[in-house]
Structure 1
Amino acid sequence: MASRVSLKSKGKASGKGSKGSQEEKSLSQSFKEWSTWTVKKAKVITHYGFIPLVIIIGMNSEPKPHISQLLSPV
């Protein structure tokens, strides 16, 4: 396996008195993280919400079916 080389400088000169400050993220990196988080949440919502949504839409349609008619395979 190849080892990775770290380009971060070590010592007092890199901090300049700000102990807990993080480097500023670019706008594109922030957007990428936000969109990834959004897509993950949307996948979970779609996964667990699709069948209840179909049942709710089916219950509000004409003619009004009973819940057993919606859930039966026939």
Structure 2
Amino acid sequence: MAAKVSLKLKGKSKGSKGSSSSSSSSAPSKFDVLKDWTNWSLKKAKVATHYGFIPLIIIIGMNSDPKPELSQLLTPV
């Protein structure tokens, strides 16, 4: 199983008094958005690779020079 990684923000919470940076507490940083987008795209690529690998091999095999039938590609002999 894959372990989930969580980032904990350091600093003052929203309810604390004093000077606080409005950009860090109100909106996610560019790094967080990039990290989320990268994780999302890698998950989608993993799923596409998982379900697309065997059909890709079958398509490549069907387009080879001695054109085999589908049954010849799927049998182990």
TM-score, normalisation: structure 2: 0.67
Bigger share in helix: 2
Q: Matched residues in 1 for 2:30 and 2:75: separation?
A: 50
Count of aligned positions: 59
Instruction: Provide, for residues 20-72 of structure 1, a one-character-per-residue CA deviation record: whole Å limited to 9, x for no partner.
Output: xx822211111100000001001111111100111011101111000011001
After superposition, the Cα gap between the structure-2 partners of 1:9 and 1:24, relative to the gap in structure 1 and judged at 3 Å, is closer
Q: Tell me, what secondary structure is at the counterpart of 2:26? A: coil
> Which consecutive residues of structure 2, in runs of 5 or more, have no partner in the other structure?
1-11, 16-24
Bigger Rg, which one: 1
Any runs of at least 4 consecutive aligned residues in structure 1 with deviations exceeding 4 A, and if so which? none
| 2:44 paired residue number | 41
Q: Tell me, what secondary structure is at the counterpart of 2:44? A: helix
Percent of pairs with identical residues: 58
> Which consecutive residues of structure 1, in runs of 5 or more, have no partner in the other structure?
1-6, 11-21
RMSD over aligned CA atoms reads 2.1
